[in-house]
Amino acid sequence: MSKLSGFAINEEARFRNNLAIRLTDCRITARDAIRSYRLHGDVVRVFYEVGIVILEPLRIASYLFGHLDGMNDTGTLCEVVPVLPTEDRAFVTAIGQLVDQLCTLWDTREEWESYNALVDVGAIGFRLFEAFGVHARPQPDGQAYINVPLQQHYACRVYAG
């Protein structure tokens, strides 16, 4: 990525705080949206409600890591996992993949023949949807088939310590 973030040098703390806020209770909020879906049955609504909860942390993480990369004088991006304010494996994986993909996009920015290079970024979001229990599959007519299967492993587990 670029080393061009001299215009926002004091923003790291704000990005970190925003990411922590966005990751707070994501599983619970998504689970509640899926429970609500079981009553209303509106797949577009559940896709939106879960999406807003899980995609917003990806957006904020892209700002944070873009900023960290831009401020880094060594030319290498820091390790992603220690910086994340969550132990949720789905987010750790998705944000790690996002950072890798954004670095690749930046490094190949002069070589893009189309915006199809961005498709892999979107795929990260769809995999995160699936990890949270909402499955979306493209259809030949350009629409999407959205399925929210009943599965126990999507339940949020809270451990008292």
Residue 2 placed within a domain: no
Strands 144-147 and 135-138: antiparallel
- Work out the pLDDT band at 153, boundaries 50, 70, 90: very low
pLDDT digits (tens, 9 = 90+) for 95-144: 989 999 998 998 898 998 888 888 889 899 999 999 999 998 888 998 88
Residue 4 placed within a domain: no
pLDDT digits (tens, 9 = 90+) for 1-24: 444 455 566 788 888 889 989 999
Residue 125 placed within a domain: yes
Give how far Cα 88 sits from Cα of 19, 84, 124, 160, Å.
13, 10, 15, 16
pLDDT reading at 146 higher than 80: yes
Number of domains in the chain: 1
Residue 51 placed within a domain: yes
Domain with 15 in it: 9-154
- Work out the pLDDT band at 82, boundaries 50, 70, 90: low
Residue 161 placed within a domain: no
pLDDT digits (tens, 9 = 90+) for 20-56: 899 999 999 999 999 999 999 999 999 999 999 999 9
Beta-carbon contacts of residue 29 (< 8 Å; ≥ 6 apart): 53
Residue 160 placed within a domain: no
> Higher confidence at residue 71 or residue 124?
124
Quote the longest CA-to-CA distance of the chain: 53
Question: Which range is least confidently modeled, 30-44, 58-72, 83-97, 147-161?
Answer: 147-161
The confidence score (pLDDT) of residue 80 equals 64
The confidence score (pLDDT) of residue 57 equals 94
Cβ(23)–Cβ(88) below 8 Å:
yes
